[in-house]
Amino acid sequence: MRRTSHYSRSPPARRKVASGEDAQAGQAFAALPSPGRFGRLAALARRHDRSLLVLGSGLVAALLAVGLNAIVAPPDRKLTQGDIDAAVVHTLKKRPPEASDAAKAYDVIRPSVVLVRRLGEDKKSKVTRRDDSGAEASGDAKKFSLTGVGTGVVFSEDGMIFTNLHVVAGADDIGVVFADGTESEVELLDAQPENDLAVLRAKTLPDDLRPATLRSTRGLKTGDEVMAVGFPFGIGPTATWGVVSGLRREHYSEEGRRNLIDLIQFDAAANPGNSGGPLVTREGDVVGIVTSILNPTDVGFFVGIAFAVPIENAAKAAGVSPF
């Protein structure tokens, strides 16, 4: 009998009728998967093997990378002072340092500080002028020369200025120079000899005049930081920084002619030319008017002790309230 196999596409072959033993073998063969199923299983196995191979390769690469990093990476080291200094320099370059209290106080008071010039009549000379009709007329011309310098501080918008009486005493003419360079003649409004104070008023004012802020000395304490601003020996404006050395001091003025009382003693450097300048707090508020220095020698320069008149006394001389 001729039959077609269901398991192969090979040409049909003549087969003999199976014996009982052959029949059992044929049944066992029939139980095996077909060749098509074998192909699918083999493909699945191959894909599974490739996945395992990729996964294994990745794990090996990761382990190699970790090991290599451990070998190549430098070991941890302790910070040195050089590292800290470099970090500080880098930070400072990125952000400039904040201004000091002294610099802030100076910026506040500087626009209010003036150079006071005492002028003396030098000589008179003849000058010739022509009037409207063309006629000549002669007269005297006054000529002044600088006889002394000091400092003043503007305390009102209409150009009123505090200074020392000894700065302007005996002057034939008085002039001031404002912070922006504006020059002006001034008039003497009032004087308070017992406190060595004088009040001036400028005739010409700068457009951006900034009066100083006055502050009571009631809260002032020994050890508080203060600044003196002025024109020592005509140099300036110059700022010197120190502390309040004492309160309610007494001191004889130049040549012992006046006994000044209730003074602020301070150790910020003051020299001839500082007279009449402001003594200010770290906020730039005026608490006193610099008036004199103590020096046991005849040289007349600063040795560490200076005095200022409290601003309350200066306000009385001007007839104004300082607060």
CATH number reported for the structural domain that contains residue 221 in this entry: 2.40.10.120
Comparing 316 with 45, which gets the higher pLDDT?
Answer: 316
Handedness of CA 8, 12, 18, 21 (dihedral sign): negative
Q: Is the pTM of this model over 0.85?
A: no
Q: Which of 166, 251, 285, 292 is catalytic?
A: 166
Lowest-pLDDT range, 207-216, 238-247, 294-303? 294-303
- What is the per-residue pLDDT across 145-174, written as a single tens digit (0 to 9) for each? 778 899 999 999 999 999 999 999 988 899
Lowest-pLDDT range, 93-97, 160-164, 217-221? 93-97
Handedness of CA 316, 317, 319, 323 (dihedral sign): negative
Count CB neighbours of 285 within 10 A: 18
Q: Is residue 264 part of a domain?
A: yes
- What is the per-residue pLDDT across 11-41, written as a single tens digit (0 to 9) for each? 454 444 444 545 454 454 444 455 555 455 4
Q: Is residue 57 part of a domain?
A: no
Known catalytic residue at 5: no
Q: Which of 196, 251, 285, 292 is catalytic?
A: 196
Q: Is residue 81 part of a domain?
A: no
- Return the CA Rg of the chain: 50
Between CA 155 and CA 272 the distance in angstroms is 22
Report for 110-124, 147-161, 247-261, 309-323: range of highest mean pLDDT: 147-161
Q: Which of 112, 245, 253, 275 is catalytic?
A: 275
Known catalytic residue at 207: no
Between CA 154 and CA 125 the distance in angstroms is 35
Number of domains the chain is built from: 1
Between CA 118 and CA 218 the distance in angstroms is 33
Q: Is residue 63 part of a domain?
A: no
Here the tokens at position 74 are 């430098």
Handedness of CA 162, 168, 172, 177 (dihedral sign): negative
Lowest-pLDDT range, 7-21, 226-240, 242-256? 7-21
Lowest-pLDDT range, 18-22, 86-90, 189-193, 283-287? 18-22
Here the tokens at position 172 are 């034939």
Q: Is residue 296 part of a domain?
A: yes
The boundaries of the domain holding residue 215 are 110-123+140-318
Q: Is residue 114 part of a domain?
A: yes
Q: Is residue 59 part of a domain?
A: no
For the chain, give the mean pLDDT.
79
- Contact between residue 215 and residue 288 where contact means Cβ atoms under 8 Å apart: no
Between CA 302 and CA 297 the distance in angstroms is 10
Q: Is residue 3 part of a domain?
A: no
To the nearest 10°, report the CA torsion of 212, 215, 217, 222: -70
Known catalytic residue at 166: yes
For the chain, give the longest Cα–Cα distance.
Answer: 170
Single-letter residue type at 311: I
Comparing 99 with 297, which gets the higher pLDDT?
Answer: 99
Here the tokens at position 305 are 């002790």
Buried b (16+ CB within 10 A) or exposed e, 140-172: eeeebeeebbbbbbbbeeebbbbbbbbbbeebe
- Using DSSP bridges, classify how beta strands 136-154 and 183-192 pair: parallel, antiparallel or unpaired: unpaired
- Contact between residue 294 and residue 306 where contact means Cβ atoms under 8 Å apart: yes
